[in-house]
């Protein structure tokens, strides 16, 4: 990302239009992708308590919930991506990400 802004700055400094347009297009693509991922992740629910795992809700956090760098959502994302399972921060039950939906 920093490299992209470097390319953008180089293009602006040297007046190379293709570099500016290319890097702006790439940055816009990444932004759209990040927004899409964010919107999709908001709909993810715990299969047991049906709480939104990535959305801030009024539910009280379980005493078993752990945090990564102070963030509940980061811990869930890390568990789901790296370990294949995570512990729901609200009900405290382990959830497997490899099971298929019915």
Residue with tokens 């294949």, as numbered in its chain = 84
88 lies in the binding site for Zn ion (CB under 5 A): yes
Residue 98: DSSP 8-state: S
48 lies in the binding site for Zn ion (CB under 5 A): yes
Question: Which residue among 8, 20, 46, 76 contacts Zn ion (CB under 5 A)?
Answer: 46
Residue (84 or 94) nearer to Zn ion, CB = 94
Secondary structure (H, E, C), 21-46: HHHHHHHHHHHHHHHHHHHHHHCCEC
What is the closest distance, in whole angstroms, from the C-beta atom of residue 46 to Zn ion in the complex? 3
Runs of H (alpha helix) within the chain: 2-14, 17-42, 72-78
Q: For Zn ion, which stretch binds (CB under 5 A), given 3-11, 20-28, 72-80, 86-94?
A: 86-94
72 lies in the binding site for Zn ion (CB under 5 A): no
Q: For Zn ion, which stretch binds (CB under 5 A), given 22-30, 68-76, 77-85, 91-99?
A: 91-99
d(CA 62, CA 74): 16
Binding site for Zn ion (CB under 5 A): 46, 48-49, 88, 90-91
């Amino acid at each position: 990302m920093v490299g992209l802004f470097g390319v953008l700055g180089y293009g602006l400094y040297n007046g190379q239009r293709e570099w500016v347009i290319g890097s702006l297009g790439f940055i816009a693509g990444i932004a759209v992708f990040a927004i899409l991922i964010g919107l999709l992740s908001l709909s993810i629910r715990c299969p047991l308590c049906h709480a939104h795992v990535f959305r801030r809700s009024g539910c009280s956090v379980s005493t078993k919930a752990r945090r990564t760098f102070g963030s509940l959502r980061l811990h869930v994302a890390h568990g789901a991506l790296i370990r294949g399972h995570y512990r729901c921060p609200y009900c405290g039950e382990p959830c497997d990400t490899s099971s298929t939906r019915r």
